[in-house]
């Protein structure tokens, strides 16, 4: 069984400040790791994913996350946030269900990021 813990339910920050959204997971097997973003009244959008290789992964809009196997963490960071980053962010894990096919996702509770002007 897998579980995901997002340590902060809400994170308020000012525009252009750095932010870190924390995620810890537990699993008895190797996993894939994901961050999803959900804007108000919209569906889930994949922000970035770790499958293998470099432990630092980046998104196209300036977010990055680092897989730390020893600490079983996958924290999300951005050096300078914008108002438009206001959304709910979900960390998720998937077991490696055969090759690179993805198994079911187990999600954290979500972190609401609110960027203030």
Partner 1 sequence: DTGVSQDPRHKITKRGQNVTFRCDPISEHNRLYWYRQTLGQGPEFLTYFQNEAQLEKSRLLSDRFSAERPKGSFSTLEIQRTEQGDSAMYLCASSSTGAWGFGPGTRLTVT
At its nearest, how many Å lie between partner 1 and the CB of residue 33? 12
Contact 93, 33 (CB under 8 A): yes
Q: Whose Cβ is closer to partner 1: residue 70's or residue 100's? A: 100
At 6, give phi and psi (nearest 5°).
-100, 120
Least separation in angstroms between residue 22's CB and partner 1 is: 15
Residues that bind partner 1 in the complex, under the rule CB under 8 A: 4, 6, 34, 36, 42-46, 90, 92, 99-102, 104-110
Closest to partner 1 by CB, 28 vs 100, is 100
SS3 54: coil
Closer to partner 1 at the Cβ: 26 or 45?
Answer: 45
DSSP letters, 24-49, are EEE-SS-EEEEEEEE-TT--EEEEEE
In angstroms, give the least distance from the CB of 91 to partner 1: 8
Alpha carbon distance 78, 40 (integer Å)? 20
């Amino acid at each position: 069984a897998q579980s995901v813990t997002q340590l902060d339910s809400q994170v308020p920050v000012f525009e252009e400040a750095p932010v870190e959204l924390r995620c810890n997971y537990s699993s008895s097997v190797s996993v894939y790791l994901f961050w999803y973003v959900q804007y108000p009244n919209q569906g889930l959008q994949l922000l970035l994913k770790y499958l293998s290789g470099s432990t630092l992964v980046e998104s196209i809009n300036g977010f990055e996350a680092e897989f730390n196997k020893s600490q079983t963490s996958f924290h999300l960071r951005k050096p300078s946030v914008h108002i438009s980053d206001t959304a709910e962010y979900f960390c998720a894990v998937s077991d490696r269900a055969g090759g690179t096919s993805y198994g079911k996702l187990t999600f954290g509770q979500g972190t609401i990021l609110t960027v203030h002007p």
